[in-house]
Chain A
Amino acid sequence: MRIAFPSYQGIMASASLLLGLVFIAPICLANPSHKDTNLAISIHGRELTKALHATASGLDSKAREKVIAFLKQENANRIEQISAKDIGQTHLATTQLLRAAEQLLYLGEPSGLDFQKRVEQMRVHIARITQKSKSVPATQKYISQWRVQIQRTTAARAKSLEQITKLCNEAKWDSADDELNELFDSMEPGTVFFESEEKKDIYLPFNGVQGAIMNAMRELRKQRGAEQLQQAIAAIMPDYPTLISEMLIAVAAIGESGKATYRDAEVNGPELVTKIADTWRESQNAILQARAKQWALDGRPAYAGSFYPTQGSSDTEDPFAKAHLQFSDAVFGQLTRLIQVDVARTTNEDAPDLYIEYLRALAPLARQHVNREFTPQMTHALGAFGSKLPAGGRNVGLYALATTDLLRWRAKVATARTLAQQSQYPDLPAVFKKGTTSKVPYVGLFPEDTSFASTAQLMAASTEVMPVAVQQLMGQPALVRDVIRISDSSPVSIARYADRTYANIPAGSPPIAAIAALKKELMVTDQSPPLTLAAMQAVVSAERGDWLAVGGDITGTYLEAVVSRFGSLPSAAAILTPLGALPAENLQNGSLAQMMMRFDITPKWMAYEYFFVAP
């Protein structure tokens, strides 16, 4: 475990922001970002976790505000201006924060790890300032008063010890923990100034109960955390057999009458494609959340007394990915079966319109699917329409002949023009790595030694990582790939998750002239729709605003934990990963330490799949 090197600059860099934070509600649901590098890493859990995270965030803000104030005085050689009481209270806040951090870790929250590192960072400064303050007369007076106070309460402490011992013997661990913490917290603002020998006399009698309570509470918290996570996983996990069964019934109904009731909606065949696609995305979203929570469960401290998480689960045998892949194969099978039975049922008269409706329904799905073979495979399935289309589908065949190679050349140009931009716009994952790689004394997300592959990990407090990362990343040009608009009318598009990065990009206005040129070359008008899935996808994707790649400047950076991001994935972010497969993750060094970064990109150029748009 590498310990963060505390930097004065790191703390001071965000001092001005922090002064404002004190007045903000302590529930920090955001993540550390360019706007505020001190915000806590967000959580994926609810109930217990939310309150605990709010408490920890509040303590962190309170302690940080004080530490920054101390550092300012220290820097101006005005140690005497720092009140001993403030030092004591700040130390107490870090102790309480450390407790909350450990509990968050047992709940599988990466923010627990970050809070621990933040305490490590702050305590280096507090310890130094405590020592310096001991030479200040006011502090000496404060320490003397505490000595008197500690002496005066000796009998009361003995009585408390008796009571706590009794609670321990009765295995009332929660109460014993509360009582012990209350007692220790009442002394810590003073005893932090005492020398070790002096402290030993006060705390030694409590060693026995303290050890017993600590062990018992860790086991209890570990168990409660596991139960909470297991319940959450069970509640989220998609019921694949039922989902497939519902699809089977609906597909059979379409084969009978061309209509089906699917999830309380009356649909025809192409509408069922859209509904099945929604189910597919929802289930992917759910299993991504479940898998992240499983990683959270596996990544918690392994045994009582262990502060640091163990190795994360291995990705080589990922049962979640395997299950979703099987489900995706089954969905694909249902879609092809749907086309087959609907074609068999439909009349020659209805077939041409139905064929076009299927193209329209399948086009967005084809763009979002993980496998580029989806389009040719579905095109093959749509071949079933052949005998029911005029002249055996002659026009469809000729249309494919007239447009396939045109699209291929257009795609080649769009790709080549994107590649030509790479000297000025490096790939976002490379920019991310460069901007967050450690370089003494900076501890970033990647080790300085780049001779071995490494994923982004929290090796120092995010409050240390982010000020430097923000400075190095903001304004940098970057290239993102595989950009999908959240919805047809959304103002935001997402560069999908790749190598621990993703990005939000304003959808902007569609390039009307370029789309018109594409449609003209594809012979598409309101009366003449595209006749192949590839051409329909080209038009739909261009009109939607899905991009092959985008180049632009970084205008926002947000540090997120992999477990928190995927463990709390909102439904609007269902397109974050390509449909049909879960992204593989390397969880080396523990799942809770795994980090990723969300970026805002202001685009300078966009490569659509079949054309390129520069301002």
Chain B
Amino acid sequence: MPSLTYPSRHLIGAATLLPLLLACSKEDVNSLVEKTKQTVSDTAAKTTETVNDKISDATAVAKEKLQLAGKCELQCGGPIATPACYARLITFDDGRPSVLQLQSYRDIAEESFPSVYVHAQVTASQPTDLNGVSVSAQAFVQQQAQGAIWYTDPDNPIQIKVNSVADGLVKVELVSGKLLNSADATSQSISGMLEGALQ
């Protein structure tokens, strides 16, 4: 709440501009407004670049320090990015299908948000068998710890494709599908890439 006793910084700024504006013609005013807008826009862009650079730097440092690997870059009603992604191919020798799991955390104790989990049953017996494989999958995405969860309706799984398995990295594309929102039951298309470091 702005104080009622002392003018806020915004009011002081407006008051300083006012005599200047009063002294100008309409064209001058328009020009001045446009100029101000441009200045604000340039400053904002520079600030954003700086912030993004800093985030990028911080992410790189954090990834290095935390030994994070891989990444998730999704679109589900907006961009969702995670600084890590891990992939695991689990195979059985009792006739059960293999399971490909991709998740944004190394294990549950280290889970941070946004959090992403993708689970698919496959026929591969080793990671290289996954190359080029397209399968249906269950996906779960949660932006915040206490927030709503985007999840797959088991009757309508999403489609994923393994684009490559190389250098210890499984690159998976979310080809098509929709996720449901746990809070309001709305649905949203999901797309994007997961680059999971093989565990």
State which of A394, A399, A405, A420 has its C-beta within 8 Å of the C-beta of B117: A405
State which of B90, B121, B149 has its C-beta within 8 Å of the C-beta of A398: B90
- The A384-425 residues at the B interface (CB cut-off 8 A) are 391, 394-395, 398-399, 401-402, 404-406, 408-409, 412-413, 416-417, 420
Query: How many Å lie between the Cα of A405 and that of B88 in the bound state?
Result: 12
Q: Give the residue name and chain of the A residue nearest to B151 (CB).
A: A413
Query: How many Å lie between the Cα of A394 and that of B183 in the bound state?
Result: 39
Q: Give the residue name and chain of the A residue nearest to B95 (CB).
A: A528
State which of A399, A517, A527 has its C-beta within 8 Å of the C-beta of B92: A399
Q: How many residues of B contact A (CB 8 A)?
A: 28
Question: What B residues does A518 contact at CB under 8 A?
Answer: 154
The interface residues of chain A, by DSSP majority, are classed as: helix
Q: CB distance A395 to B93 under 8 Å?
A: yes
Given contacts A398-B90, A413-B140, A611-B154, contact A527 B149 (CB under 8 A): no
Which of these binds chain A: B17-25, B97-105, B162-170? Answer: B97-105
Provide the B99-120 mask, 1 if CB < 8 A to any CB of A, else 0: 1010100001000000001010
Q: How many residues of A contact B (CB 8 A)?
A: 27
Query: How many Å lie between the Cα of A413 and that of B88 in the bound state?
Result: 23
- The A366-397 residues at the B interface (CB cut-off 8 A) are 391, 394-395
Q: CB distance A406 to B138 under 8 Å?
A: yes
Q: CB distance A401 to B88 under 8 Å?
A: yes
Q: CB distance A405 to B101 under 8 Å?
A: yes
Question: What B residues does A514 contact at CB under 8 A?
Answer: 154
Question: What A residues does B184 contact at CB under 8 A?
Answer: 420
Question: What A residues does B119 contact at CB under 8 A?
Answer: 405-406, 521
Q: Give the residue name and chain of the A residue nearest to B90 (CB).
A: A402
B32 contacts chain A at the CB level, 8 A cutoff: no
State which of B90, B93, B95, B108 has its C-beta within 8 Å of the C-beta of A408: B108
Given contacts A395-B94, A416-B149, A417-B182, contact A523 B108 (CB under 8 A): no
Could you say which of B96, B121, B184 has the most chain A C-beta atoms within 10 Å of its C-beta?
B96
Q: CB distance A416 to B90 under 8 Å?
A: no
Question: What B residues does A517 contact at CB under 8 A?
Answer: 154-155
B148 contacts chain A at the CB level, 8 A cutoff: yes
Query: How many Å lie between the Cα of A101 and that of B78 in the bound state?
Result: 69
A513 contacts chain B at the CB level, 8 A cutoff: yes
Q: CB distance A528 to B96 under 8 Å?
A: yes
Question: What A residues does B148 contact at CB under 8 A?
Answer: 416, 420
Query: How many Å lie between the Cα of A357 and that of B185 in the bound state?
Result: 39
CB of B55, distance to nearest CB on chain A (Å): 27
Query: How many Å lie between the Cα of A533 and that of B43 in the bound state?
Result: 58
Could you say which of A394, A416, A527, A528 has the most chain B C-beta atoms within 10 Å of its C-beta?
A416
Q: CB distance B138 to A412 under 8 Å?
A: no
CB of B98, distance to nearest CB on chain A (Å): 9
Query: How many Å lie between the Cα of A423 and that of B24 in the bound state?
Result: 56
B191 contacts chain A at the CB level, 8 A cutoff: no
Query: How many Å lie between the Cα of A22 and that of B176 in the bound state?
Result: 69
Q: CB distance B138 to A521 under 8 Å?
A: yes
Q: Give the residue name and chain of the A residue nearest to B89 (CB).
A: A402
Q: CB distance B154 to A398 under 8 Å?
A: no
Query: How many Å lie between the Cα of A521 and that of B136 in the bound state?
Result: 11
Provide the A447-487 mask, 1 if CB < 8 A to any CB of B, else 0: 00000000000000000000000000000000000000000
Given contacts A401-B88, A405-B108, A413-B149, contact A521 B154 (CB under 8 A): yes
Q: CB distance A527 to B140 under 8 Å?
A: no
Q: CB distance A402 to B99 under 8 Å?
A: yes
Could you say which of B95, B101, B117, B151 has the most chain A C-beta atoms within 10 Å of its C-beta?
B151
Query: How many Å lie between the Cα of A476 and that of B94 in the bound state?
Result: 51
- The B149-199 residues at the A interface (CB cut-off 8 A) are 149, 151, 154-155, 182-185
Q: CB distance A527 to B182 under 8 Å?
A: no
Query: How many Å lie between the Cα of A376 and that of B108 in the bound state?
Result: 15
Query: How many Å lie between the Cα of A420 and that of B101 in the bound state?
Result: 28
- The B67-100 residues at the A interface (CB cut-off 8 A) are 88, 90-97, 99
Provide the A498-528 mask, 1 if CB < 8 A to any CB of B, else 0: 0000000000000001100110110100011
Question: What B residues does A412 contact at CB under 8 A?
Answer: 140, 142, 149
Query: How many Å lie between the Cα of A528 and that of B121 in the bound state?
Result: 15
Q: CB distance A405 to B92 under 8 Å?
A: no
CB of B199, distance to nearest CB on chain A (Å): 10
Q: CB distance B91 to A398 under 8 Å?
A: yes
Could you say which of A391, A405, A412 has the most chain B C-beta atoms within 10 Å of its C-beta?
A405
Query: How many Å lie between the Cα of A413 and that of B91 in the bound state?
Result: 27
Q: CB distance A402 to B183 under 8 Å?
A: no
Q: CB distance B91 to A527 under 8 Å?
A: no
Q: Give the residue name and chain of the A residue nearest to B150 (CB).
A: A413
State which of A398, A399, A409, A528 has its C-beta within 8 Å of the C-beta of B151: A409
State which of B95, B154, B155, B183 has its C-beta within 8 Å of the C-beta of A416: B183
Query: How many Å lie between the Cα of A394 and that of B94 in the bound state?
Result: 11
Query: How many Å lie between the Cα of A412 and that of B149 in the bound state?
Result: 8
Query: How many Å lie between the Cα of A405 and that of B108 in the bound state?
Result: 8
Q: CB distance A527 to B95 under 8 Å?
A: yes
Q: Give the residue name and chain of the B residue nearest to A404 (CB).
A: B108
CB of A164, distance to nearest CB on chain B (Å): 74
Question: What B residues does A399 contact at CB under 8 A?
Answer: 92, 96
Question: What B residues does A398 contact at CB under 8 A?
Answer: 90-92
Q: CB distance A420 to B103 under 8 Å?
A: no
- The A583-615 residues at the B interface (CB cut-off 8 A) are 611
Query: How many Å lie between the Cα of A404 and that of B107 in the bound state?
Result: 11
Question: What B residues does A394 contact at CB under 8 A?
Answer: 93
Given contacts A521-B154, A528-B95, contact A401 B149 (CB under 8 A): no
CB of A356, distance to nearest CB on chain B (Å): 12
Question: What A residues does B90 contact at CB under 8 A?
Answer: 398, 401-402
- The B126-143 residues at the A interface (CB cut-off 8 A) are 138, 140, 142
Q: CB distance A523 to B182 under 8 Å?
A: no
Q: Give the residue name and chain of the B residue nearest to A418 (CB).
A: B182
Q: Give the residue name and chain of the A residue nearest to B139 (CB).
A: A409
State which of B97, B151, B155 has its C-beta within 8 Å of the C-beta of A513: B155
Query: How many Å lie between the Cα of A406 and that of B155 in the bound state?
Result: 16
Q: Give the residue name and chain of the B residue nearest to A614 (CB).
A: B185
Q: CB distance B92 to A409 under 8 Å?
A: no
25 A-B residue pairs with Cβ-Cβ distance under 8 Å, sorted by A, are: A391-B93, A395-B92, A395-B93, A398-B90, A401-B88, A402-B90, A402-B99, A404-B108, A405-B119, A406-B117, A406-B138, A409-B117, A409-B140, A412-B140, A413-B140, A413-B149, A413-B151, A416-B149, A420-B148, A514-B154, A520-B154, A521-B121, A521-B154, A523-B99, A528-B94
Chain A contact residues, CB within 8 Å of chain B = 391, 394-395, 398-399, 401-402, 404-406, 408-409, 412-413, 416-417, 420, 513-514, 517-518, 520-521, 523, 527-528, 611
In the complex, besides A413-B140, A416-B182, A521-B138, 16 extra interface pairs with C-beta distance below 8 angstroms are A395-B93, A395-B94, A398-B91, A401-B90, A404-B108, A405-B119, A413-B149, A413-B151, A416-B149, A420-B182, A420-B183, A420-B184, A521-B121, A523-B97, A523-B99, A523-B121
Chain B contact residues, CB within 8 Å of chain A = 88, 90-97, 99, 101, 103, 108, 117, 119, 121, 138, 140, 142, 148-149, 151, 154-155, 182-185
**What are the 10 A-B residue pairs with the smallest beta carbon separation, nearest first?**
A517-B154, A416-B182, A402-B99, A409-B140, A523-B96, A402-B90, A413-B151, A420-B183, A398-B90, A417-B182
